[in-house]
Structure 1
């Protein structure tokens, strides 16, 4: 049981839409559940500040991340350490991106995120990476439930999936994959899969293949982490095999 508690309490990357559609746990206990059935404890949200309302005891941010708007409340008092106050002041600007860590609460039948920490986003690329993580963890959950649901005797996949996030610290590309091949073999395999995906999907849509959809597909096909896919897409773009279209999240195959 200890392992499950640890997983339940880990920081979950989410979007505004996921938080708006989560509901109180039907089993009681005051918890919340996402639409896909996952328990919501501590969450991480990256979004743009649209409006700010400040009182003597709290700030209410309205934030947006492309999936919807969300209300975020942060309580504070005069005894907060100077560093905490300074961090809050930096984040209290409209039209900047912030990273919020907090817990979901329901006030007057409306979902609200109560922030434990609000920081200005240092690097805009962190937004893309956050969305990739959202896609990856959602896909991993779907894989896990379908494996359990079909009562398969193959324990290899869930174990590989459970071990994957450790590779997200940056050394992801060199990791051996769930396919059992050596790291070099797997990277070459993933590279081909990404190229084929961007070639196929990029021809069907004017703006090109979506990086986030590509991450979801690679997680589904072979337990590859967002970092691995992200790094290889960067590499393929630098080599001129693919090129970005409307933004850094959409790519086409260079014929």
Structure 2
């Protein structure tokens, strides 16, 4: 854990995470951000739904969570939270008669997580957490506050052995933060083209559509033009092979014939060879 500690940087980079070791996200199937499992639209998230959500967060987000009054749900990004999950390094494990307290940090903040012990369970507490100090773990639970101090009441904790999960969690927590603060992701023209959103309707608000308004092009040809304009703008243009890969399968029966039609309309021309084409349309 020396590399983690040496790169440690106190917690002030962003509202959703710092620039040290990230606090990985789900590694969970289904229920990504924006799915029904997230519960609610940006800026909403009613109390009746928050208990059924599982939100990936960083420790800084937990510490910054708002609680309008003592009986209210905690809120992050103006949305109520129920169950939360985070990934962090365990810096200390303290075993008491009723609970195990984990001192955890993820490069964005420090927090205690408490797992209450079932006194009647065989081997409750025991040696289960020996050797967990200075390892990563994923925690799932609920944010609690007692005596002006916050902690997470743990419903599940497990060690993280794949460092990809640590990185993944930061990305997922960031994605969810952006969903609630900026709204659902709006596909760009390139994504729409690649996903098969065809025709004038798909590009009605795109400058390219206005430029092509005077041409009698099929939806498929308009889509090809959109893909070409979404590709990096270079002097060589786009290779036909790359164009085929970027277009939805089966968009046109013959890409070569489609290119010939567009060249016939004066919309495309070849550059360094017959396999590279570039648009004549300025947007």
Q: TM-score range by the shorter chain?
A: 0.5 to 0.7
Q: Spell out, residue by residue over 1:128-161, the C-alpha distance to the aligned partner (whole angstroms, 9 max, x if none).
A: 00000011111111122xxxxxxxxxxxxx4x67
Aligned to 1:182: 194
Whether the 8 Å contact between 1:72 and 1:115 is mirrored in structure 2 is yes
* C-alpha RMSD over aligned residues: 3.9
Does residue 74 of structure 2 align to residue 32 of structure 1? yes
C-alpha separation between the residues in 1 aligned to 2:155 and 2:56? 15
Aligned to 1:55: 96
C-alpha separation between the residues in 1 aligned to 2:230 and 2:103? 39
State the number of aligned residues. Answer: 161
Aligned to 2:178: 139
Taking a change above 3 Å as real, the CA distance of residues 73 and 178 of structure 1, as seen in their structure-2 partners, is farther
C-alpha separation between the residues in 1 aligned to 2:190 and 2:71? 37
Taking a change above 3 Å as real, the CA distance of residues 190 and 13 of structure 1, as seen in their structure-2 partners, is farther
Taking a change above 3 Å as real, the CA distance of residues 91 and 140 of structure 1, as seen in their structure-2 partners, is farther
Q: CA deviation at 1:78?
A: 3.7
Taking a change above 3 Å as real, the CA distance of residues 81 and 133 of structure 1, as seen in their structure-2 partners, is farther
Which structure 1 residue ranges, 5 or more long, are not aligned?
A: 145-157, 165-175, 193-255
C-alpha separation between the residues in 2 aligned to 1:111 and 1:190? 47
Does residue 34 of structure 2 align to residue 20 of structure 1? no
Whether the 8 Å contact between 1:52 and 1:92 is mirrored in structure 2 is no
Whether the 8 Å contact between 1:90 and 1:119 is mirrored in structure 2 is no
Q: Spell out, residue by residue over 1:83-130, the C-alpha distance to the aligned partner (whole angstroms, 9 max, x if none).
A: x979x8257621000000000010111111110001011311100000
2:83 counterpart (30, 39, 42):
42
Does residue 142 of structure 2 align to residue 103 of structure 1? yes
Taking a change above 3 Å as real, the CA distance of residues 190 and 71 of structure 1, as seen in their structure-2 partners, is farther
Which structure 2 residue ranges, 5 or more long, are not aligned?
A: 1-36, 41-45, 197-223, 233-283
Structure 1 length normalisation: TM-score? 0.53
Taking a change above 3 Å as real, the CA distance of residues 72 and 189 of structure 1, as seen in their structure-2 partners, is farther
Structure 2 length normalisation: TM-score? 0.48
Aligned to 1:72: 113
Aligned to 1:170: none
